[in-house]
Amino acid sequence: MRPALASFVVALATLFFALPAAAASLADYFGSYVGVAEVRDAADRVVETRHMDIEITPFRRAGFRIHWVNVTLVDGRRDLPGVQRRVAEVTFEPRGRAGLFVEAQVVNPFVQREEMAPLAGDPMRWAKLDDAGLHVFSFVVLPNGRYELQTYTRRLTDAGLDLDFERVVDGDTLRRIDGRTVRAD
């Protein structure tokens, strides 16, 4: 191999390996995931264990929907009285081109759309996608003027999706959740 060609190949290889790994796209998150999470209180004690069932799907043209089911276990089991099952869903649409997603409004042709009023108690929900994961924020100004912030960060793993959740009220962290899931067929 000629020296010039060899130098070119080496330079090309260097450039290839120097490039950062491509960040996960929104489409990479689409799928179904099942797993387990531990809920910790403000003193970092595990107070609950729950099963998680998460589904992330496309919404409209460029948005996404997260639908999840949490089953809070009783003594580590889900076949005992007292088990709790909670279902929730939230949809987001892109706003601009820089990575901001805002909760999609439900369109009702018979009701005039009202402007969001955070200081009247309207919760604000939005999301962002970056190298660290898919982050969902839920923020509300409480009637006493304090705030509550809930943050969900979902990160892709080789097996599925990891979840970190934090609930903060006026600067105090009251609850954390660490969860691990695998992609379900």
Footprint on this chain of other proteins (rule: CB under 8 A): 39, 41-44, 86, 88, 95-96, 98-102, 115-130, 135, 137-151, 166-175
DSSP string for the chain: --HHHHHHHHHHHHHHHHSPPPPPPHHHH-EEEEEEEEEE-TTS-EEEEEEEEEEEEEETTTEEEEEEEEEE-BTTBSSSTT-EEEEEEEEEEE-SSSSEEEEPPPP-TTSPPPPP-GGGT--EEEEEEETTEEEEEEEEE-TTS-EEEEEEEEEE-SSEEEEEEEEEETTEEEEEEEEEEEE--
CB of 60 to other proteins, least distance (A): 17
Taking the complex as a whole, how short is the minimal distance between the CB of residue 83 and other proteins, in angstroms?
15
CB of 33 or CB of 50, closer to other proteins: 50
Nearest approach, Cβ of residue 97 and other proteins (Å): 8
Residue 169 or 182 having the CB closest to other proteins: 169
For the CB of residue 6, give the shortest distance to other proteins in the complex, in Å: 42
Closer residue to other proteins (CB): 31 or 68 = 68
